[in-house]
Every structure is written in C-alpha cells, then in structure tokens.
Amino acid sequence: MKLNRILFFITIIGLMVACKKDPNTKEETDKLEEPIAATEKFDYQVEQFADLKILRYQIPGWDNLTLKEQKLVYYLTQAGLSGRDIMWDQNYRYNLRIRKALEKIYTSYEGDKNSNDWKEFEIYLKRVWFSNGIHHHYSNDKLSPGFSKDYFSSLLAATDTEVAEEVYNVIFNDEDAKKVNQAKGIDNIASSAVNFYGVGVTNEDVASFYAKMKSPDKNKPLSYGLNSQLVKENGELKERVYKSGGLYGSAIDEIVKWLEKAKEVAENKEQGDALGLLIEYYKTGDLQIWDDYNVAWTAATEGNIDYINSFIEVYNDPMGYRGSYETIVEIKDFDMSKKMEVLSKNAQWFEDNAPLIKEHKKDSVVGVSYKVVAVAGEAGDASPSTPIGVNLPNANWIRAEVGSKSVSLGNIIEAYSNAGGSDRLKEFVHDDEEFELEETYGQLADKLHTALHEVIGHASGQLNPGVGETKETLKNYASTIEEGRADLVGLYYLMDPKLQELGLVEDWEKVGKAAYDGYIRNGLMTQLIRLNLGDDVEEAHMRNRQWVSAWAFEQGTKENVIEKVTREGKTYYNVTDYEKLREIFGRLLRETQRIKSEGDFKAAEALVEDYGVKVDQTLHAEILKRNEQFTSAPYSGFVNPVLVPEMDGNGEITKINVTQPEDFVSQMLYYSKNYNFLPEVN
C-alpha cells in the first residue's frame, strides 16, 4: 500500500527535513549522460507545464556503496525499466499505439514549431508521458488535446505516421472517458477504460468468476486475479496470465534477465532466495509462488539495498483484484531509519491502546520493519508520479503472521521540500496561530503521520474469523477505506504524549495541533484545487481525506470542535478543541476498523458516498478562485537519475556513475527507445 503525494498545503513535501513512481540523435542521448558536478548547487526543478511540475532527485550515499552493491542497484533498476511498457498497456489498450505515434511525430516533424498548435501538441505529449497514457494520473479523466483533429491529421501526413481509425478517434472523442470509474450504481468494469478486463466483462462476471476459486489453505488466501487480464472468449471467461510465455512475456523475459544478474550479486542468502522466488513467479505466474516470495521478501530485512518489483497495488482496478506494474529500488538511509525504528519496536503498544473493539485488535503485531530509504530508480506505476511512503505486502494473512515492510522515500521527500514553497499557506489558514504552528511544526507532524500511517496504521487491526479479503467484502470501496483507516491511526496518535515519551517530538501537543489543522484544511478545502469545478472526488486517497475530514467536521460542529468561518467572502475552518477532535478521530477509527473487520459493505458505501464523493460546488468555486493567484502546479513528478556503468576490456563493470537527465523529454524518449519490449497490441 502506498501513501500518495499529499498536497503542498500540508507541506508533506518536507516530511524528512524537520527533525531539527526517437532519441535517435546523438544530441538526445548526450543529454542523459551529462553529470551534474558535485560542486554545483543541485537544481531540483526541471520544468512545468499544464498542471504538472517535473523535478529531479539525488541519490545520497551512492559513493559509500561497494561496487557489488552498486551493481545490485543497477541490475534492479534495469529490471524495473524493462517492464515499463507493461504499465502503459495496463492503463489503456491503445496507449502504446498512441505514444509511439506521438513520439514519431515529435522526433521527425520539420514544420513550424513556434505555432500555438505545435506547443499544444508538445504539452499533450508530455502529459501523456507523465500519466503513462492518455488518462490523467490522478483524476482518471481522459486528457483533452489542445489542438484540433485537422492539425493532428496534418502532423500525421507530414511525418508519414499511420494510426488506425479507432486509435485516431479515441484521442478526440468521449469514449473511454474514465480510466477508473468508481461511481456508485454503475457497472464499474464496463465504464472503466483500464485494460485489466476484456470487452464485455462486467462486475458480475468478475465477482462470480473469483467466487468459484478456493485457495488450498483458506487461512492463506491467494491473490486471485492479481497478475492476469480477464477476458471473454466465445462467451467464456478466461485469464491471460502475466508471465514468461504469456501476456507481456517479452517484457517479462527482460525483467527476468536483469533479476538473475541481481541475484548473482545479492547481499545475503535471504535476499538472494527472495529474488529467486520472484524470478520463478515471473516465469510461471503461479500465485502460490507469489505468496512464498512475499514471505521471503518480508523476512529479508538485512542489507543496504531493497526493492519493490511486480504487479502490486490494485488502485487502478475498480474491483480491487489486479495489480499495476511497479518498481522502486531503494538504498537504506541508516541515520533516519535508526531514529524511526522506535515506532516499529513499540508497535504493540500502539495496537493495545488503539480505540478499537477488542476483537478487532491483534494480540501480537509482528515483523513491522520501518526504514527511511533513498530511491535509486523507479518505473511503472511509481514513475514519474511517485509515492512518498510504501507498506507491503498487501496480503492480510502475511501481514498478520510474518509482518510487513514500511519505507519512507527520504530523498523524494527532500526533493519535494527543496523544490516547493508555502505561498499558498497564508491564503488558506484561519489565523496567525495556525500559520505559525504549520511553519514551525508542520513538517515534523507530516513526517510522523507518514510513519504512523505506514508502520502502525497498515499493520493494525484484524479481520473477524471467516470474513473474506477486503477486496471481496468492500469491493470498490476497499482501497479508500484502508487508506482512511491508516490515516486515522496516525491522526489518533499524533495528539498522544507517547510520541514525546519515545523521544520523537519535543512538544507533542503543538505537533498534534499542526497535524490536525493541516489535515482538516486539506481534506475540506485545499485538495479541491486538483479537481475541475463540478467533478466528484474519485481517487481513493482524496476520497479518504475528504470522508475523514467531512465526518469529523460534522461531528465537530455538533460538539463545537470545528467551526466554519467566513471572513471577507472567504471560507476557513478553525479547530477549537483538539482533544475532542482526537476523540472524534478515535470514534471514526473504531467504526472504520469495524467495517473492515466485519466486511460491512453497506456501511463502507454509506461512509464514502455520504462524505467522500460529493463536493460543495460553491466552496469549490471559491477555492479555485482564491488559488488563481498562484502559479505553481498542483502535481509533481520526477525524472530518474541515470546509472551509467563503466566497463573494462572484458566487459566487466568497474564503476557506475550517477548522472542526471537534462530534461523530461530526453528521458522519456530515451526510455521509449531503450526499453521498448512489447508490441503495440498485446
């Protein structure tokens, strides 16, 4: 489970600094191999376009790694990039054809490149690159080109580029308007463009197909559907499994090639054994091997290098079965990991003191490992738009019996911090006291919320005996309920003196106040900047922030805990009683855990639909108007550092240099040229 990029308004961008995801020409390739000198001030910002900002990140500690460790990182990043196109095809069945047509136009067009039409074409291509397809990475809406069909036709003709009529039309028409449609009362599969299901497959088909599948051990349910596409052939449902020799097999073979190299330089036996199981899983597609791998991977906690690789998060599946391809390669940050290890060691205390029904608490919270890491490379669903924290594996039984790994991506968060600003903060805070709390304690509060969300939140609670997996019981609400539940665990403990007792803060009350102010401000107001006027909230994390905040506000209004203030035509939210707000968060946490533990679909539906979906249009219009004065884009993503090996005369790697891409375009074209392992139609 991943913690998404949280809006600049709660300054999540500063989580880890507060402890005071045809370059056929030589020119394009050279851009990727020009290292930024160590003596120069690092430039985090690359460019900004549409609603997007592109950043860079550094890899601290790289020179402290041994050559063997550097090779391991290099092989793992190559494995990750080799599967990059899988994510494109998973997102939409026409994405690869569209991308290749757009890239051919971009690299071969010799006409007027100063016209507004060409500039709009460039922006559209960059947006498509950023989203790994033609649907917005966050809203799921289909991207609208700022150029006409006639202009596009002229570009196709000028560059001798051919696209099928259906592909051409889908760029401009209203078909497949939503990548993932989570709306109530519709067939979510049929109305979602995501390429996890074939034509004609419905919600009912999916539910009935997997209801017939029984795991060999009912206490260790397999993740059916995680690594396959479900299609209808001659009226019969059939899985197309992602594996060597199966769907996406040509890219998977490349992944396996690099993973085998990584296994040869593993840091220890446990790490090597886990990599061996991952390789076997890719070769066979066997979900039992997937579980065996996750058990081994979770237990392999020694070493400086770790990674996430495969079909993992299910946010892009409206039914919550199928995993999107994702990789993150990580280098341990020893100093920060040591400081935060205290949370892992005290996980049982947090579970014992949580405001949950006794039967919903775990008697023994095991194996919660927490590390701060430096990202060395990302691909698939983690790039260019990346999480800031991850907790895996997702299988409830593994988390209960073996444990989980929680990481915060320290250098990503640092890059956000160094590239960001707080100009908007004064516009949306209620008063000077709220501003000062945020300025002084906001970064630390957000850092701790991330840690509590990942380490304690996702590890907390248990299902009632006989209750199925959350994706089966809560269906399309499973992801937002789980993310909201983890948020609530963090919120509840952010106002607890235990944090000061553990040495994590110097003033637990002020840190808690800053956290509560920021969460309510974001959940009720500032995250709306990401939506177009009239839109519902659809992304799982945005939904959970709204339903948590809106439910708390409703309860707080009754108890005079949160007041809505209008001043000079502007709306603000003011927390008047933080201790009572903590009690409200505790009550909601108790109910949310009950919903998950009991598999109460109707209650989940009511909570999300009543509080997390609809937007006050008058307030939304006001927020958008107030935001017009600010030019910084609401979404950020990253180009990745490029690892360039030096070879001796025998072809052996003697050194690996870290270089930085000069711009977004050169990296995207380089990736398309060098990691192009899938056909356009799969």
> Using one digit for the tens of pLDDT, what is the confidence trace for 87-107?
999 999 999 999 999 999 999
Q: Given a cut of 70, is residue 3 above it in pLDDT?
A: no
Q: Decide: helix, strand or coil at residue 8.
A: helix
Directed axis angle between helix 165-172 and helix 95-108, to 10°?
90
Looking at the predicted structure, is the pLDDT value of residue 28 above 80?
no
Residue 385 sits in which domain range? 2-68+246-637
Instruction: Residue 455: name the closest of 506, 364, 378, 392 by CA.
Output: 392
Label each residue of 553-598 as H, E or C: HHHHHHCCCEEEEEECCEEEEEECCHHHHHHHHHHHHHHHHHHHHH
Q: Supply the pLDDT for residue 20.
A: 28
> Using an 8 Å Cβ cutoff, are 462 and 597 in contact?
yes
Cα–Cα distance between 325 and 327 in angstroms, integer?
Answer: 7
Residue 515 lies in a domain: yes
C-alpha distance from residue 259 to each of 112, 252, 276 (Å) = 45, 10, 8
Which tokens in the block code for residue 530? 């990401």
Q: What is the average pLDDT across 572-588?
A: 97
Q: Give the pairing type, strands 635-638 and 52-55.
A: parallel
Which ranges constitute the DSSP H helices of 458-527? 470-473, 478-494, 498-501, 508-524
Tokens for 45, please give them. Answer: 């910002």
Residue 534 has pLDDT above 60, yes or no: yes
The 10 Å Cβ neighbour count of residue 646 is 10
Res. 420 pLDDT band, cuts 50 70 90:
low
What pLDDT was estimated at residue 421?
59
- Which DSSP helix (H) or strand (E) runs through 606? helix 601-608
What whole-number distance in Å separates Cα of residue 170 and Cα of residue 302?
A: 49
In the chain, what is the greatest distance between 2 CA atoms, to the nearest angstrom? 76
DSSP 323: P
Residue 558: the pLDDT is 82
Total count of domains within the chain: 1
Report, as an integer, the average pLDDT of 517-530.
Answer: 95
Query: Using CB atoms within 10 A of its CB, is residue 605 exposed (0-12), middle (13-18) or buried (19+)?
Result: middle
Among 11-15, 169-173, 314-318, the range scoring the smallest mean pLDDT is 11-15
Give the chain's end-to-end CA distance (angstroms, integer).
28
Helix (H, G, I), strand (E, B), or coil: what is residue 53? strand
311: part of which helix (H) or strand (E)? Answer: strand 305-311
pLDDT in tens, 259-291: 999 999 999 999 999 999 999 999 999 999 999
According to the model, what pLDDT value does residue 313 have? 96
pLDDT for the residue 417: 76
Instruction: Please check whether residue 135 lies inside any domain of the structure.
Output: no
Phi, psi at 23, each rounded to 5°: -70, 65
Q: Domain for residue 213, yes or no?
A: no
pLDDT in tens, 291-305: 999 999 999 999 999
438 located within any domain: yes
Residue 33 has pLDDT above 90, yes or no: no
Q: Minimum mean pLDDT among 37-46, 164-173, 627-636: which range?
A: 37-46
Between helix 269-284 and helix 287-299 the angle, nearest 10°, is 160
- Name the token pair of 619: 């307030």
Pair of tokens at residue 573: 């939210």
Q: How confident is the model at residue 416 (pLDDT cuts 50, 70, 90)?
A: confident
Within a domain: 602: yes
Least confidently predicted of 249-258, 336-345, 400-409, 628-637 = 336-345
Distance CA 591, CA 356 (A): 8
Q: HEC string of 152-218?
A: HHHHHHHCCCCCCHHHHHHHHCCCCCECCCCCCCCCCCCCCCCCCECCCCCHHHHHHHHHCCCCCCC
Res. 40 pLDDT band, cuts 50 70 90: low
Residue 378, classed as helix, strand or coil, is strand
Averaged pLDDT, 110-134: 98
State yes or no: pLDDT of 129 exceeds 70. Answer: yes
Q: Is pLDDT at 339 greater than 90 in this prediction?
A: no
Q: HEC profile for 420-444? A: CCCCCHHHHCCCHHHHHHHHHHHHH
| pLDDT computed for residue 681 by the predictor | 97
The three-point CA angle 227-186-471 to 5° equals 35
Domain assignment of residue 136, yes or no: no
**Cβ-contact 323, 285 below 8 angstroms:** no
Helix (H, G, I), strand (E, B) or coil at 12: helix
Q: Which residue has the higher pLDDT, 332 or 677?
A: 677
- Confidence grade of residue 372 (pLDDT, cut at 50, 70, 90): confident
- Whether the CB-CB separation of 529 and 634 falls below 8 Å is answered with yes
Helix H or strand E segment including 614: none
Residue 24 has pLDDT above 60, yes or no: no
* pLDDT of res. 5: 40
Q: C-alpha dihedral over 635, 482, 545, 558, to 10 degrees? A: 180
Find, among 60, 59, 80, 404, the residue nearest to 262 by Cα: 80
Mean pLDDT calculated for residue range 628-637: 89
β partners of residue 657: 644
Is 423's pLDDT higher than 80?
no
The pLDDT value given to residue 334: 73
pLDDT of residue 17: 30
* Predicted pLDDT at 7: 36
Number of other residues whose CB lies within 10 A of the CB of residue 594: 17
Q: Is residue 337 domain-resident?
A: yes
85 is a domain residue? no
d(CA 310, CA 28) in angstroms, rounded, equals 30
- Look up residue 410 and give its two tokens: 């320290």
Q: State both tokens at 22.
A: 């045809």
DSSP-derived secondary structure letter, 41: P
User: 189-203, 453-467, 610-624: lowest mean pLDDT where?
Assistant: 453-467
Q: Would you say residue 354 has pLDDT above 80? A: yes
Q: What span, in angstroms and rounded, lies between the C-alpha atoms of 244 and 256?
A: 9
The listed range with the strongest mean pLDDT (10-24, 215-229, 419-433, 526-540) is 215-229
Contact 596, 470 (CB under 8 A): yes
pTM of the complete model = 0.81
Give the C-alpha separation, 529 to 71, whole Å. Answer: 42
